[in-house]
Structure 1
Amino acid sequence: MEIDGQAAIVSGGASGLGLATAQHLRACGARVAVFDRDREALARLAKVRPDIMGVACDVAHEDALAGALAEAHDRQGPARIVVACAGIAGAARLVTREGPMPMANFLQIVNDNLLSTFNLLRLAADEMSTLEPLGRDGERGIIILTSSIAAYDGQIGQVAYAATKGAIAAMTLPAARELAQFGIRVLSFAPGLFDTPLLDSLTPETRHALAAAMPFPRRLGRPDEFADLVMHCIGNVALNGEVIRLDGALRLPMR
């Protein structure tokens, strides 16, 4: 699919991997809307990138997301490109001196990572399925989800996080198979360690240690590299139903 002239939506697009993706899409000529619940980040984005539409929205909430999609549709047309980047990290052990992990902790990560992704997937796919097909392949759109290498190499303390990211990876192929009849592609990325705001709380020593663990390149990933992969996958119609690791050959240790 050609990016130029298409409407695109990026959830979690006010910072990190989502922001880099939104900026790349805009640079390629797409009309871009970002959905994010961080109003301060959206305000900062509006100041520096008024050409990117920002909508305050909790994408895990059914009515809120439906309203945001309708607003984006009214302003820039139906989206054929959707990238789901919204999510949180979250780390907690199953059992501590204080007792078992509270169910509220687990449910929060499920809500922010898995339910937000599924909600965007189902609503975006429903709208895409009614669009006119494009080109000789009859493509109607592409939806890219964000999993994690923790789906495969989950560390101690990542039970909840790995569960949500593993679920996103697992639903990629069945979603792609189901939506193939409409000419909609579904992919997931499983990024490794990237230099995003999720790592801002770490000390310089910890960040250095994480970078040193990377086989090659021996550094944290750059959000632009995630965005570059998004651009390639949009243009390569043969890519479908796959979970793509973007991790510099990193395999997470036990802890």
Structure 2
Amino acid sequence: MKLEAGMAAIVTGGASGLGQASATALADQGLKVAIFDINEEEGEKHAAAIGGTFHHVNIMDEQSVVDGFAAARSANGQERVTVHCAMASKRGKTIGWDKESGAYKRLSTEDYAFGAEGILVSSYRIASHSALGMANSDPVNDDGERGAITLTASVAAQDGQIGQVIYGSCKSGVNGLVLPMARDLMQLGIRVNSVMPGIFATPLMLGMKDRNPQMWDQLNASVPFPKRLGNPEEFASLILEIARNSYINGHQFRLDGAIRMPPR
């Protein structure tokens, strides 16, 4: 799909990290980018920097998402590229030791359900609402293509570590959405893919550089090559290629410097 000036895109989690880099890369191609995020200050700031629009959207709230799509389309037109980076989750072992009670405790079903909503359900919510808008629009090329949706999974989908039972299984579920959804949408010319980033230098990880430099060095050394954390711009580069290359469909990409995560 040719990325043309004036084409609309939506990036969730676009106020920081991988989403911010993706929003910048798409804007650099001339696209009108709508950022969905709950961080109003950073979201507004980055939207202004790239000539885009900001929309306060809670991906865990159906009406918030519906309103966000309506506002973005009113401002920029029907999106042809959607990149979903936002998420919410919790962490914990299935069974862990509780120091306060001096006994084992179970990760609650409520905590698991929160992560499932913030990762898996929200991915379906964003992708399906975007697909509905694309389905009701005209094709953009001779292939009959109407748009491309890229979801963000994680290497934890395949290499889930201790304490990642929520995150790992739900990110695996994001990968599980890709092929059946791509097949559901094939007659409509809408592509669906996912990216599994490894350890990237997002603001959350960069905070470790000062707090725990030894751990920071260990993380960099753990990547086979190049021996560093990924740059968000490298994630964004793959996002652009997935959007541009119409033959990429129903696929899950690891982007990880060949790292394979150990149990802990």
TM class by shorter-chain length?
Answer: over 0.9
> Which residue does 2:102 correspond to in 1?
none
> Which residue does 1:119 correspond to in 2?
125
Task: Give the residue type in structure 1 aligned to 2:120.
Answer: L
Q: Which consecutive segments of 4 or more residues in structure 1 shift more than 6 A?
A: none
The verdict on how the C-alpha distance between 1:104 and 1:38 changes in structure 2, with shifts beyond 3 A counting, is: farther
Normalised to the residue count of structure 1, the TM-score between the two structures is 0.96
Task: Give the residue type in structure 1 aligned to 2:173.
Answer: A
Query: How far off is 1:198 after superposition?
Result: 2.9
Worse overlay, 17-26 or 88-97: 88-97
The verdict on how the C-alpha distance between 1:105 and 1:204 changes in structure 2, with shifts beyond 3 A counting, is: farther
> Which residue does 1:142 correspond to in 2?
148
Normalised to the residue count of structure 2, the TM-score between the two structures is 0.92
Separation (CA, whole Å) in 2 of partners of 1:204 and 1:180? 48
Equivalent residue of 2:141, what SS? coil
Equivalent residue of 1:176, what SS? helix
Task: Give the residue type in structure 2 aligned to 1:33.
Answer: A
Separation (CA, whole Å) in 2 of partners of 1:138 and 1:160? 38
Worse overlay, 184-193 or 107-116: 107-116
> Which residue does 1:23 correspond to in 2?
24
Give a deviation string over 1:80-135, Cα, whole Å, max 9, x none.
10000001464311112221112232222212211211100110001101111122
Separation (CA, whole Å) in 2 of partners of 1:40 and 1:91? 27
Separation (CA, whole Å) in 2 of partners of 1:122 and 1:254? 34
Separation (CA, whole Å) in 2 of partners of 1:127 and 1:207? 43
In the alignment, structure 1 residue 247 sits paired with structure 2 residue 248: no
Matches within 5 A, 1:1-255: 1-4=1-4, 5-46=6-47, 49=49, 51-88=51-88, 90-98=90-98, 99-202=105-208, 203-255=212-264
Equivalent residue of 1:165, what SS? helix
Task: Give the residue type in structure 1 aligned to 2:66.
Answer: A
Structure 1 or 2, whichever has the larger Rg, is 2
Query: How far off is 1:164 after superposition?
Result: 0.9
Separation (CA, whole Å) in 2 of partners of 1:107 and 1:163? 12
Cα RMSD of the aligned pairs, angstroms, is: 1.3
Equivalent residue of 1:190, what SS? strand
User: How many pairs align?
Assistant: 254
Task: Give the residue type in structure 1 aligned to 2:255.
Answer: L
Separation (CA, whole Å) in 2 of partners of 1:133 and 1:52? 24
Separation (CA, whole Å) in 2 of partners of 1:222 and 1:89? 23
Query: How far off is 1:166 after superposition?
Result: 0.3
Query: How far off is 1:50 after superposition?
Result: 6.0
Query: How far off is 1:161 after superposition?
Result: 0.2
Q: Is the 8 A contact 1:60 1:117 kept in 2?
A: no
Separation (CA, whole Å) in 2 of partners of 1:133 and 1:139? 5
Aligned-residue sequence identity (percent) comes to 39
Give structure 2 stretches of 5+ with no counterpart: 99-104
Q: Is the 8 A contact 1:12 1:19 kept in 2?
A: yes
The verdict on how the C-alpha distance between 1:200 and 1:103 changes in structure 2, with shifts beyond 3 A counting, is: farther
Query: How far off is 1:44 after superposition?
Result: 3.4
Give a deviation string over 1:5-58, Cα, whole Å, max 9, x none.
210000011000000000010010000001001223224325x51612111110
Equivalent residue of 1:18, what SS? helix
Equivalent residue of 2:185, what SS? helix
Task: Give the residue type in structure 1 aligned to 2:11.
Answer: V
Separation (CA, whole Å) in 1 of partners of 2:13 and 2:26? 14
Separation (CA, whole Å) in 2 of partners of 1:190 and 1:170? 12
Equivalent residue of 2:33, what SS? strand
Task: Give the residue type in structure 1 aligned to 2:241.
Answer: H
